[in-house]
Amino acid sequence: MTYIPNTPAEQEEMLRSLGVTSIEDLLDSVPEEVRLKRPLNLPAALTELELLRLLRGMAERNVDLDHLVSFLGAGTYDHFVPSVVDQLVKRSEFYTSYTPYQPEVSQGMLQAIYEYQTMVCQLTGMDVANASLYDGATATVEAALLAVGPSGRGDVLVSRAVDPQYRQVLRTYAHGRGFTLKEVACADGITSIEDLERQLGVDTRAVIIQHPNFFGNLEPVQQIEHLTHQTNGLFIVSITEPVSLAILNPPGAYNADVVAVEGMSLGSSMSYGGPALGMFASKAAYLRRLPGRIAGRTVDNRGQTGYVLTLQTREQHIRRERATSNICTNQALLALAATIYLAVLGKQGFRTVGEQCLQKAHYAYEQLVQIPGFRPAFDQPFFDEFALRCPVPVAGLAAALEQRGIIPGYDLSRDYAELEDTLLVCVTEMRTRQDIDALVEALRQATSSSTRSPSMRA
Amino acid sequence: MSTEPLIFECGAPGRQGAKLPALDVPARPLEELLPSDQVRAEPVPLPEVSEIEVVRHYTHLSQRNFGVDVGFYPLGSCTMKYNPKINEVMVGLPGFARLHPLQPEHLVQGAIQLMYELEQMLAEITGMARVTLQPSAGAHGEITGLMIIKAYHESRGDYHRKQILIPDSAHGTNPASATLADYESVTIRSDARGGIDVEHLKMLLSDRIAGLMMTNPNTLGMFDENVVEIARLVHEVGGQLYYDGANANAILGITRPGDMGFDVVHLNLHKTASVPHGGGGPGAGPIGVKEHLVPFLPGPLPAKDEHGHYYWVDAGPQSIGRVRANHGNFGALVRAYTYLRFNGPDGLRRVSESAILNANYLMRALQRDYELPYDRTCQHEFVLSARRQKEEYGVHALDIAKRLLDFGVHAPTIYFPLIVPEAMMIEPTETETRETLDAFIGYMRQIAEEARTNPDLVRGAPYTTPVGRLDQTLAARKPDLRWQADHK
């Protein structure tokens, strides 16, 4: 019971000072009929040493990416995190603090959020950013909610090349809030311009694309922007791999209205997919419709620069049912990690991370498409992820490669029936040339034996 | 000393804090790989700083930040309990931290097992049939729960329920979540004892009611003695009951939302289960539901077969669908699991009992100097009013909060709940020593005395913090939300 410092004897003294004899006397407002009259049916308490053994055992029943050669991306990306990031995020003045409601004793977190907002604007080329949302999927939802506005109605068009999980979350909220979600078809691995044109109309409130999209391909962003802005709809760009912004044109440069980013790539561990980091930025025109916390710079009564949470009349604790969002707790600590990550890599280092992802992915692509039976699924430019048509179903290949400790990528047929035998391969700076060559060799061997199998489809 | 430059104002051109190994594949010209109109013209204008500059800068920032590890943090409704260090070690194990969410199930057995067992523990604690671990925070749990309630009504062909009942003492997230679920929020008055006014509730009940959201103990720290009657009344008109678990630190092993009659409950694991608040997040807001709502839960849900293998089961056709990508804030779940296993059933009950004792100890000691608007035994927190200080000396709750900072403790939550003027909501939690509580009582008494004898002293506070009171009006009127190279 080491987390409760007062001893039973001290607690008895405290009870006596209250004029009662037992803790039961303080519980008399809990009606007898709802009292739990037995102990909770939970495993018995463990000591710290027992817990260490138990959880280490559970952790070891997982095979982590230090023990696999993984080419999995599909929304979550394995990137190098310099040691300083973790060490600084572990400063307990940061991680044991609450949302900075008392700015005089929260300047550290507030200034870090201000720096974070600056970096999000620099990355995306947008005017304003908030202090973070739950993840890329819910940030995309918030972008759609901003677009439909207080009425909660209208059409939101989402490309089928947006991460399938993001589209599921959009569908959930569309039903809850009452707007209409329509999917725009793909053609050759990018959003179909023809289908987009067909579906745009007077009720369009937003068009959502992902860039690079779920297949890793670059979207024709200028064309989509142009078409979207011929209606009253907002152009929303969702980004799952923000390292791409080291190289690619920022959404602000192609006139995006709102940008929603999954920020885990920037200094956080993958941690089985969460906690994640929803980054959110927009044009200045939408500032007062932004969801969540925003930090701002101001002055104190001594004439010094200081930071506060600002524009709070948008938020639930002030505006209640008319708030722009219901979000309260966000992902501040991951925003701090992203800030430190971007600072320590800096202007040149971040660029290098982007270049290495781009180069290594293209090296892998060139090698893989030369294996007999393998060919590109699409003919599109890509950043660090691409789709590969395989001569056999991906499931069998993955099983064969796992024997060699390799995860070759993501099976796109899980989400797209038309993409059978299609593997989504991601290559970041974490993979060495040796890893890539091993993948190529393993796929070659796995398929050369299967060419003798009757199940092979060319 | 009292200002820290921005990271953008540090460093020098060419400095770099971290480097990668040399590229080990042949480098090809960028223009061969990407169309020129897709490429960024200039590198992202990030800082150019060395590692030591980064370390000093963020260490300095941390020194300008107050956390539970620094001192007493009686921020009401936020449950700022001690965050055990073993939690941080466990979450950093590579077997948890270095997992990709799309790895095949057989390579992540320990992770699914942890979530499976955590779900079972949370279901037992709340008295619910099943739990989804997807929601990332309390408000996320609220919208998830309301969408489940909506899907339930719709599954019965019941489309005309448009209202959610919410007490006037509720957190702002409740009505904000109701709007997100396309419901109209209808406010229920509190009665003289701080609970829901049952007579008012009866007037509001109709077949247009989709449900009622309730925090119990409520934001006054009072357990609503009429909860069973309230549940019966709402169920009678076909409504569902949502339990806002923000105050669940008061009920562990004592009572369960399921037994009180609630149909849906969220828990803030970053409050009740010792997950650190992280300066604003991440948290986790899993929700539990009764049997009749299980088909509507988001998926996938963890399961275990007869051979002891763990796997994910996709949601069924009635599910509301996903509420976020992947499986939830797994890191927060590892911490919560560690905490629950550390405490066990008896330990958890002692957590709540000790939190209640500490709160009553403070409340009784402070009611001499401050108005106690609801003079009842409290649960894990209580609300004082600075009305007397305001009326007699012109000292507001805000001033008292700021003055407390000078004593090296964090301020209580102020001006909430909205039904108490000049509210100061105080939640000590179970992890504070008697000496800390006594010291806080001393500070509060001294401030009450200062308000009487030297109100300007209190109104001018704080004095010992890195910055003084900040100009909120300026911040909102002329928003400065990002640094730009050309402004100073």
Sign of CA dihedral B148, B153, B154, B159: negative
- Provide the residue ranges of all domains of chain B, joining segments of one domain with +: 87-342, 348-473
Average predicted confidence (pLDDT) for chain A: 96
Contact A345 B58 (CB under 8 A): no
What does the DSSP 8-state code read for residue A25?
A: G
Both ends of chain A: CA-CA distance in Å? 64
Task: Identify which of A29, A40, A65 has the shortest CB distance to residue B377.
Answer: A29
Q: Which CATH class is domain B348-473?
A: alpha beta
How far off is chain A from B386, nearest CA to CA, in Å?
18
Distance of CA A298 to the CA centre of its chain: 31
Characterise A178 by phi-psi region: left (phi > 0), alpha (psi -120 to 50), beta (else): left
Residue found under tokens 């990332």:
B136
**Whole-angstrom Cα distance, residue B301 to residue B313?**
5
Residue A381, classed as helix, strand or coil, is coil
Residue found under tokens 């023990």:
A67
- Is residue A164 within 8 A of residue A415, CB to CB? The reply is yes
- Is residue B136 within 8 A of residue A90, CB to CB? The reply is no
Contact A296 B279 (CB under 8 A): no
Q: How many CA atoms lie within 13 A of A196 on its CB side?
A: 28
Average predicted confidence (pLDDT) for chain B: 97
Domains of chain A and any CATH numbers: 69-77+346-450 (3.90.1150.10), 83-341 (3.40.640.10)
pLDDT at residue B1 greater than cutoff 50 = no
Residue found under tokens 């959610």:
B164
pLDDT in tens, B308-325: 999 999 999 999 999 999
- Is residue A256 within 8 A of residue A239, CB to CB? The reply is no
Q: What is the pLDDT of residue A458?
A: 36
Task: Identify which of B45, B66, B172 has the shortest CB distance to residue A105.
Answer: B66
Q: What is the pLDDT of residue A455?
A: 46
Looking only at the bridges linking them, the beta strands covering A204-210 and A234-239 are parallel
Residue A358, classed as helix, strand or coil, is helix
Task: Identify which of A30, A325, A402 has the shortest CB distance to residue B176.
Answer: A325
Q: Which of A179, A194, A99 is nearest to A143 (CA)?
A: A179
Question: Within the 410-439 window of chain B, which residues sit less than 8 Å (CB to CB) from chain A?
Answer: 410-411, 413, 416, 430-434
**A22, A107, A379: best mutation site toward chain B, by most B Cβ within 10 Å?**
A107
Residues of A in contact with B75 (CB under 8 A): 98, 101
Looking only at the bridges linking them, the beta strands covering A128-129 and B130-132 are unpaired
Tell me how crowded residue A453 is: count the other CB atoms within 10 A of its CB: 10
**Whole-angstrom Cα distance, residue B187 to residue B166?**
5
CB within 8 Å of B259: residues ≥ 6 apart: A34, A36, B127
Q: What is the pLDDT of residue B485?
A: 86
- Is residue A80 within 8 A of residue A353, CB to CB? The reply is yes
Geometric angle at alpha carbon B370, from B364 and B371, rounded to 5°: 90
Q: What is the pLDDT of residue A450?
A: 53
* pLDDT-derived band at B2, boundaries 50, 70, 90: low
**B19, B66, B424: best mutation site toward chain A, by most A Cβ within 10 Å?**
B66
Question: What Rg value do the Cα atoms of chain B yield, rounded?
Answer: 25
Burial of A129 (0-12, 13-18, 19+ CB in 10 A): buried
- Is residue B161 within 8 A of residue B151, CB to CB? The reply is no
B38 touches chain A (CB under 8 A): yes
Q: Which of A132, A329, A270, A324 is nearest to B141 (CA)?
A: A329
Residue B77, classed as helix, strand or coil, is coil
How far off is chain B from A453, nearest CA to CA, in Å?
25
Q: What is the pLDDT of residue A1?
A: 53
Q: Which contiguous run of DSSP H or E holds residue B480? A: none
Contact A108 B256 (CB under 8 A): no
Buried b (16+ CB within 10 A) or exposed e, B448-460: bebbeeebebbbe
Looking at chain B, how many residues does it have? 488
Q: What is the pLDDT of residue A454?
A: 44
Sign of CA dihedral A161, A165, A169, A171: positive
Question: Within the 342-401 window of chain A, which residues sit less than 8 Å (CB to CB) from chain B?
Answer: 342-353, 355-356, 358-360, 362-363, 381, 383, 398
**A127, A181, A326: best mutation site toward chain B, by most B Cβ within 10 Å?**
A326
Q: Which of A356, A158, A316, A182 is nearest to A238 (CA)?
A: A158
pLDDT in tens, B268-301: 999 999 999 999 999 999 999 999 999 999 999 9
How far off is chain B from A448, nearest CA to CA, in Å?
24
pLDDT at residue B375 greater than cutoff 70 = yes
Question: Within the 292-331 window of chain B, which residues sit less than 8 Å (CB to CB) from chain A?
Answer: 298, 320-331
**Across the A/B interface, how many CB contacts are shorter than 8 Å?**
706
**Whole-angstrom Cα distance, residue A309 to residue A301?**
17
Question: Within the 89-118 window of chain B, which residues sit less than 8 Å (CB to CB) from chain A?
Answer: 89-104, 107-111, 113-114
Task: Identify which of B23, B176, B276 has the shortest CB distance to residue A326.
Answer: B176
Looking only at the bridges linking them, the beta strands covering B423-426 and B413-414 are antiparallel
Q: Give how far Cα B442 sits from Cα of A79, B362, B452, Å.
A: 51, 11, 16
Looking only at the bridges linking them, the beta strands covering A385-389 and A375-376 are antiparallel
CB within 8 Å of B169: residues ≥ 6 apart: B190, B194, B215, B218, B219, B220, B417, B418, B419
Task: Identify which of A105, A178, A410 has the shortest CB distance to residue B102.
Answer: A410
Residue B301, classed as helix, strand or coil, is strand
**Whole-angstrom Cα distance, residue A315 to residue A245?**
30
Task: Identify which of B70, B94, B281 has the shortest CB distance to residue A64.
Answer: B94
Burial of B307 (0-12, 13-18, 19+ CB in 10 A): exposed
Amino acid type, B277: H
pLDDT in tens, B340-366: 999 999 999 999 999 999 999 999 999
Q: Which residues are bridge partners to B74 per DSSP? A: none
Answer whether CATH 3.40.630.10 is correct for domain B87-342: no
Phi, psi of A93 (to 5 degrees): -60, -30
Question: Within the 137-176 window of chain A, which residues sit less than 8 Å (CB to CB) from chain B?
Answer: 137-138, 145, 152, 163, 165-166, 168-169, 171-173, 175-176
pLDDT in tens, A19-56: 999 999 999 999 999 999 999 999 999 999 999 999 99
**Closest residue of chain B to A381, computed from CA coordinates:** B34
Q: Which of B422, B373, B366 is nearest to B393 (CA)?
A: B422
Question: Rounded to 10 degrees, what is the CA torsion of A116, B21, A351, A136?
Answer: -50
Residues of A in contact with B357 (CB under 8 A): 11, 14-15, 23, 26
How far off is chain B from A43, nearest CA to CA, in Å?
6
How far off is chain A from B171, nearest CA to CA, in Å?
7
Residues of A in contact with B340 (CB under 8 A): 42
- Is residue B180 within 8 A of residue A173, CB to CB? The reply is yes
pLDDT at residue A313 greater than cutoff 90 = no
pLDDT at residue A2 greater than cutoff 80 = no
How far off is chain A from B100, nearest CA to CA, in Å?
5
Tell me how crowded residue A284 is: count the other CB atoms within 10 A of its CB: 11
Q: Which residues are bridge partners to A295 per DSSP? A: A309
Report the predicted TM-score, pTM, of the whole model to 2 decimal places: 0.97
B1 touches chain A (CB under 8 A): no
Contact A100 B279 (CB under 8 A): yes
Please report the DSSP string for A93-149 in residue order. Answer: HHHT--S--SGGGBHHHHHHHHHHHHHHHHHHT-SEE-S-BS-HHHHHHHHHHHHHG
Sign of CA dihedral B179, A176, A294, A276: positive
Contact A96 B83 (CB under 8 A): yes
Task: Identify which of B51, B90, B479 has the shortest CB distance to residue A55.
Answer: B90
Q: What number of H helices and E strands is found in chain B?
A: 16, 12
Geometric angle at alpha carbon B365, from B361 and B371, rounded to 5°: 120
Q: Which of B65, B259, B239 is nearest to B149 (CA)?
A: B239
